[in-house]
Structure formats: C-alpha cells, structure tokens
C-alpha cells in the first residue's frame, strides 16, 4: 500500500505551533526528529509525547527538527496535505508579521511530501511503547511486551492499532488519573477485590483504542459504554475490550459523540479536542444523573479558560483542572 510522507522542517517552537494545526485535520500520529531534545523526549518531559524517535537524530545535533506524518495515499488525504501546506505558509506569514510577538521563531517551516511504498513506519513506534504506570494503580502494557504486575496493580493490555490512545500521552494519562479518582468517589468504598468503581456507570465519548473504557472496567465500574465515530477504531476498541477480559462490562458503539445515545451515567469521560469538548458539554449534562462527573481532556492550556467557561455554561461546577505539560483536563460535576 502507498502512503504520503509529509515532512515539516521547523524549530521546536515551530513544531509546537504546527501540532494543533495538524490535530485540526485529525492527524494525531506523528514522529519527531529533534537532535537537541533527545534526552528530554526520552524522559517524557517534553510538552508532547511522540510516537517514535529517529535513531539518526543524535548524529546531527545541530540540525533543525523535522516532524513527520504518514497518511494513506487517497484523494481525500492528498487534499488534506495540500491544505496543511497552505496553512503552514499562512503560519509563516503570521510569524513574519509578528502576530506571535517579536520573539517568535518558528524556523524554516519548510514542508515537503512524497508518496512512499513502505509500511515499516507503521510498527517502528512500537519499539518505544513500553509498560508504563499511568496512575497509582493502572499499568498500561502493550500486547507485545511482558510485565510482572506488583501487588495492587491493574495491568491494562493495549494494542492501539491505528486508533489514538496508548496511555502515555498527557491527555490520556490526565483522564485516566481523574477517572481513577472519581470512580472511587462515585462508587464509594472499594469492594473486596480492591475495585473502587462498584456501581458506577461510565460513558467514554470518542473512546479511540478503548483504553479509558477498559480502565474504567478494571477499576470495577459496573457498566461502561464507549462511543466512537470511526468504524475502524470501534473494531480496535472492541478487540482491546476482549483482550482485557471485560466484555461483560464494556460495550463499544459507533456513534457521533452522544448523538442517539439514550443512556444516562454517573460519569462521562471525553478525551477530545477542545472544540469537541465545548460542543459535547450540554449533551454531557443531560446524559449524567444528578451529581454525575464530567471529565474532559485534549485541552491545550491556552484554551483552558474558554473550555471551562463552556462547561460551566452547560450547568456544571468545576471541581479541578489538573495540568501536565502544555495540556490540561477538567473535572466538573452536574449541579
């Protein structure tokens, strides 16, 4: 199968400016080749977590970073690539007109693309996806890695395939930590097996790989419904549900956010882009029982106040807004 390889040459600051632009086109799987930041990335201190790091980057420490994206070679994606190129030209013009201030330096913002017939990139990121303890209790383990669980740990096996969600990105880990915390609050005391979710009903909106749905089930939540608009992601999520042995608790449906979903819950989790969180907030309110908790993430810090205002306008009371790098999550309760 052929793929479109898109490479964007930019400074580190430029890459940070380009990422939200790519996310606007639904592009969330990227690699970065940044010679100056290898140690920081490997230590997970960078504001973004990357899919993989090119092995050659430490041989050219003075070279400008390169952000790479691969897309299926379809007419739709060829149009997306052209639109990305245009948007990056606009971004460069805005930088030159000092829209981002006199100190902004996005580098060259040079874009190149070519059609390639090589699937090696699809699995290369797996070399860097290792078991990781995401919360106090939950360890996320890729299916191809071994892990000896310690006492009290819940091991969540995941194969994200082409769906978003490995647990290591700040947006997912923020959601998972809040899920663990409020599942315990909503569910009361832990049961005999240490599960704190007891009778909690959860809706995971835009569930992607199903990682948060599975996490809720492992935490003991009684019933979990995952919704996902992408049919391929639905299949991947269902496979991960089966893999973790929680099919009796988790159901995954193809749906656009909460449209057509008659179910009400104690908790709604949504790791989405900020505009979708704002769009979802009123429906989340109606799909929660009194006192229910709405957890949302995928929110850049610069959008925090805007999203929080929309969540409050929908009738929620903000409980907390934890941050991690350039991202934040919002926990809110139905009044």
CATH number of the domain located at residue range(s) 3-124 in this protein: 3.30.70
Residue 164 scores a pLDDT above 80: no
Q: Of all helices (H) and strands (E), which one includes residue 201?
A: strand 201-205
Cβ–Cβ < 8 Å for 64, 10: yes
Residue 332 scores a pLDDT above 90: yes
pLDDT band, very low/low/confident/very high, at 42 (cuts 50, 70, 90): very low
- At the top level of CATH, the class of 129-334 is alpha beta
Cβ–Cβ < 8 Å for 322, 292: no
| Domain ranges across the chain | 3-124, 129-334
pTM for this entry: 0.64
pLDDT band, very low/low/confident/very high, at 212 (cuts 50, 70, 90): very high
29: left (phi over 0), alpha (psi -120 to 50) or beta: beta
Residue 43 scores a pLDDT above 60: no
Provide, rounded to the nearest whole percent, the portion of the chain with pLDDT above 90. 54
On average, the pLDDT of the chain sits at 84
The reported pLDDT for the residue numbered 125 is: 55
- CA–CA separation, 292 vs 294, rounded Å? 7
pLDDT tens-digit readout, 56-80: 444 444 568 899 888 888 999 999 9
Kindly state the DSSP code that residue 258 receives in the 8-state scheme: T
pLDDT tens-digit readout, 111-153: 999 887 765 555 655 665 678 888 889 998 888 788 888 898 9
Poorest-confidence range of 16-20, 194-198, 260-264? Answer: 194-198
């Amino acid at each position: 199968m052929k793929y479109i390889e898109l490479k964007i040459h930019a400074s580190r600051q430029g890459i940070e400016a380009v990422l939200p632009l790519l996310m606007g086109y639904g592009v969330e799987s990227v690699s970065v080749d940044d010679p100056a930041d290898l140690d920081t990335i490997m230590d997970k201190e960078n504001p973004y977590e990357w899919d993989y790091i090119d092995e050659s980057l430490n041989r050219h420490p003075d070279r400008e970073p390169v952000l790479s994206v691969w897309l299926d070679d379809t007419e739709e994606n060829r149009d997306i690539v052209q639109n990305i190129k245009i948007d990056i030209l606009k971004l460069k013009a805005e930088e030159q007109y000092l829209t981002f201030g006199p100190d902004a330096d996005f580098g060259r913002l040079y874009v190149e693309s070519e059609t390639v017939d090589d699937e090696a990139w699809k699995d290369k990121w797996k070399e860097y996806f290792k078991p990781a303890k995401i919360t106090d209790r939950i360890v996320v383990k890729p299916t191809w890695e071994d892990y000896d669980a310690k006492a009290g740990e819940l091991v969540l096996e995941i194969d994200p395939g082409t769906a978003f969600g490995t647990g290591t990105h700040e947006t997912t880990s923020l959601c998972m930590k809040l899920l663990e915390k409020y599942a315990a609050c909503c569910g009361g005391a832990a049961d005999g097996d240490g599960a704190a979710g007891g009778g909690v009903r959860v809706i995971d909106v835009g569930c992607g790989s199903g990682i948060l749905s599975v996490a809720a089930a492992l935490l003991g939540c009684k019933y979990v419904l995952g919704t996902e608009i992408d049919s391929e992601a639905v299949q991947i999520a269902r496979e991960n549900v089966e893999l973790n042995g929680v099919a009796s608790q988790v159901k995954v449906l193809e749906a656009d956010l909460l449209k057509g979903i008659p179910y009400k819950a104690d908790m709604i989790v949504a790791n989405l882009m900020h505009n979708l969180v704002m769009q979802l907030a009123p429906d989340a309110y109606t799909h929660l029982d009194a006192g229910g908790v709405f957890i949302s993430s995928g929110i850049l810090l610069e959008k925090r106040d805007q999203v929080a205002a929309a969540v409050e306008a929908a009738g929620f009371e903000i409980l907390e807004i934890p941050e991690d790098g350039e991202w934040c999550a919002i926990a809110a309760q139905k009044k």
